[in-house]
Amino acid sequence: MSAPIPKKDRSYVIVGIHLRDKTTSEVSSETLFSHNDPDGLYVNDGPISWDFAFTTQFEALNLPMLEFGPPAPPQTAAKATSFSQFSSGLPPLDLVEDANDSSQGNAVERADDPCHLMEDSARVHAKPWLITTTVFEKLREEIQAYSSILPDECELPTSNSISRGLETYLTSTQLYLPYIHVATYSVEGRAIELSLALAALGLLYRFEHSKAYKLYFLAKAIWYEKNRREGAQLASEVLGNLSHAIRNKMSKLRKMQTLIALVGFASWGNRSIRPCALSMAAELALLAREFGLSEDAEEPPPVDWRIWVAAEERRRTILSAYILSSRHNIIFGVPPLILNREINILLPDYSQPWKSWDALQWQLASHPPRCSFQEGLRFLYEGNGKNLERRFSSFSCYIMIIGILQQTWIDRHSSYIGDQLSSTSIETFDIALRAWQVAWEGTDEPVLDPLSSRSSTSLASASLLRLAYIRLVFYRGTCRGVLYGDLTLLNISPALDRSLHVERAVLHAAHALSVSVRLGITFMANTKTSIWSIEHSIASVESALLLKTWLAMISTVVQSSGTGSLRAAEKKLLGIVTSIIEETDLSEILQVPDHDPSRYQHMAIAVIKLWSSIFQGSHILEFDDDVRYYLRLAAESIQL
């Protein structure tokens, strides 16, 4: 058994493939690309898996995920009698007093008071998810116009339910795919199906699944009916030799935004509606191409906030369509519907100007020079980490790591050596991934703290980096096993190379497990922190399978050649995995001597069991239930 982990005065974090000293503000490219580490793993000696630089503040453990979101703007005080007034704090006593002192006539008079209307408008502007009685009646009337095509079971929820869903989406859920500008969002000013779709996603993250699905099917039915009516009108114009009405560009943008929300809901929801997600994604790709996947990069940046918001929201909407297509490629294994080479627009701006509530905040925010998506990818493949000239936003880095993953899939499926990448391709992608890490270190939100309210995109990016390293050397169609409960992969004999690239992938897989174990397996299973994302889930499964396969390979090596034949990096990685297991209830398996091959078989089983335990409990996304079921089956089926 390895020695106890010593306490250190300084803390470290495994960022990608090396250790960063927390006392240093930046990671130099020389450190990143140096080969001073004889193992090539870029880790220091000793058991390091417990010294992470994310701040574990125990008082923050009880904070709900719904606390996430942009800073609230100054709010105008407004009296209200709606249920939403009781959402936080103590109820104001003057609410009852005002009711006793007011007559019905006074109430009507107050409703027509211009000052009251201005006050109500300011309140809604400060909280764009609030729905006034007037707006809700308009929503009800508009939905009634589509009553003939709406599902019978999908009655409209209350205004408070929709408002609650929108609040959750605009302050929390949208952080995982930020393409809706919160400050300028208005229920009254947007298509009803968009608000319903966003509210459905928000209610899903509040575990109100029944209401969420009702809103989803309402939004979907209205979106398709509007599309059908537009098609019928177009057919009439063509057959009647009439001039075609010019389609509003903004209307097309809103159609895309609604479809993005619908695809996002269906992709990770109930298994029975996932085929709909794939078909809607195809329509989304067509809409995106029709709308335009490129822009003039030489055009000067706008100086007006509203103009900037419109341009940035358009840009983020197109990129979100690309992201959803790529997520389907990564997780379902289907060909990407929007290719890297088709995207030629600027990468997203920093989160600070995007989250600004008014022109003044926007002007005070940082606006560093930006490059296009194509320029960003070219920078990564050149691996020019020593002369990093541009800083990228956290969302930009997320998009670029998706671009790298898409290219690995394309290269693998166009290879003449089966589904394996050539050694040349692996080296090329390794350079790009290390350069990506340098870019990530320079973003506005390079956060790895699972408890941080600013870490949604950063954690998702880190999960994709882990997945990219794993898939360079270990690609076995894992998602099919998750989606259909297929355990065939678990019976495949170890087929890993004993190479530096495999060892780096194993390091990432071990790091993923160590984060969850450090936070606490029970805590992770029962608390939905910002680390829980679709990227985290699929990376966790592949990390578990890689570690299990690698440990089984180590067992075979020890059985045939003894521990003396292990590489230095392999011994270091075994020490890391051992230190992780020591902190769990499965530590008794480590009593088996190092020279006994069964020790590593036991460790392989322990890894799967630990990941299975982490995914126990209730989940927001039903895809995570599939992951939980798959890992539980895997843990129960593995035997020595």
- Which tens digit of pLDDT belongs to each residue from 468-500? 999 999 887 666 677 776 677 666 655 788 999
pLDDT at 199 over 70: yes
- Is the model's pLDDT at 68 over the cut of 80? no
Q: Is the pLDDT of residue 519 over 70?
A: yes
Taking the CB of residue 358, how many other CB atoms lie within 10 A of it?
Answer: 13
pLDDT over 50 (residue 262): yes
Q: Is residue 309 part of a domain?
A: no
pLDDT in tens, 51-61: 333 223 223 32
Question: Which of 61, 91, 89 is closest to 79 using CA atoms?
Answer: 91
**pTM value surpassing 0.75:** yes
Please write the tens of the pLDDT for every residue from 138-192. 999 999 999 888 888 778 888 999 999 999 999 989 999 999 999 999 999 899 9
At 339, is the pLDDT very low, low, confident or very high (cuts 50, 70, 90)? very high
Q: At residue 273, does pLDDT exceed 80?
A: yes
Total structural domains in the chain? Answer: 2
Lowest mean pLDDT among 83-92, 212-221, 491-500, 596-605: 83-92
Residue 591: predicted pLDDT = 92
Contact 98, 79 (CB under 8 A): yes
Determine the pLDDT at residue 204.
93
Token couple for 602 = 């036991």
In this prediction, residue 383 carries a pLDDT of: 85
Residue 616 scores a pLDDT above 70: yes
Report the Cα–Cα distance between both ends of the chain, in Å, rounded.
21
The residue ranking higher by pLDDT, 12 or 246, is 246
- pLDDT band at 343; cut points 50, 70, 90: very high
Tell me, yes or no, whether 506 lies in a domain.
yes
Q: Are 577 and 548 spatial neighbours (Cβ–Cβ below 8 Å)?
A: no
Residue 385 has pLDDT above 80, yes or no: no
Mean pLDDT in residue range 289-314: 88
CA distance 507 to 471: 13
Inside any domain, residue 186: yes
How far, in Å, are 113, 430, 569 from residue 423 at the CA level? 74, 10, 20
pLDDT the model gives residue 48: 30
* Residue 113: band (very low, low, confident or very high) from pLDDT cuts 50, 70, 90: very low
CB 353 within 8 A of CB 366: yes
Lowest mean pLDDT among 366-370, 406-410, 556-560: 366-370
CA distance 170 to 164: 10
Confidence band for 446, pLDDT divided at 50, 70 and 90: low
Identify which has the larger pLDDT, 178 or 8. 178
Q: Of 223, 222, 220, 199, which is closest to residue 211 (Cα–Cα)?
A: 199
Residue 607 lies inside a defined structural domain of this protein: yes
150 within a domain of the structure (yes/no): yes
pLDDT > 90: percent of the chain? 50
116: containing domain: 111-291
Q: How far apart are CA 163 and CA 143, in angstroms?
A: 16
How many CB atoms are closer than 10 A to CB 360?
10
Question: How does 265-276 read in b/e, with b if 16+ C-beta sit within 10 Å?
Answer: bbbbbeeebbeb
pLDDT band at 6 (very low <50, low <70, confident <90, very high): very low
For residue 390, the model assigns a pLDDT of 64
Is position 553 within any domain?
Answer: yes
Of 259, 291, 323, the residue at which a domain comes to its end is 291
Closest CA relative to residue 543, chosen from 638, 437, 468: 468
Q: Which of residues 291, 317, 350 is at a domain's end? A: 291
Task: Establish if 376 belongs to a structural domain.
Answer: no
- Side chain identity at residue 574, one-letter code: L
Residue 638 confidence (pLDDT): 73
| Better-predicted residue by pLDDT, 179 or 423 | 179
Task: Using the 3D structure, point to which of 239, 268, 291 is the last residue of a domain.
Answer: 291
The predicted structure's pLDDT at residue 640: 53
**In a domain? residue 251:** yes
* C-beta of residue 437 within 8 angstroms of C-beta of residue 465: yes
pLDDT at 208 over 70: yes
- Average pLDDT for residues 250-275, to the nearest whole number? 93
Q: In which band, very low, low, confident or very high, does the pLDDT at 514 lie, cut at 50, 70 and 90?
A: very high
Mean pLDDT of all residues belonging to the chain: 79
Residue 455: predicted pLDDT = 64
β-partners of residue 257 are: none
Alpha carbon distance 61, 527 (integer Å): 9
Q: CA 301, CA 423: separation in Å to the nearest integer?
A: 42
pLDDT at residue 66 tops 70: no
Return the closest-CA partner of residue 603 out of 562, 557, 565, 638: 638
Alpha helices in 145-204 (DSSP H): 159-171, 192-204
Q: What is the pLDDT of residue 314?
A: 96
More confident residue, 234 or 345: 345
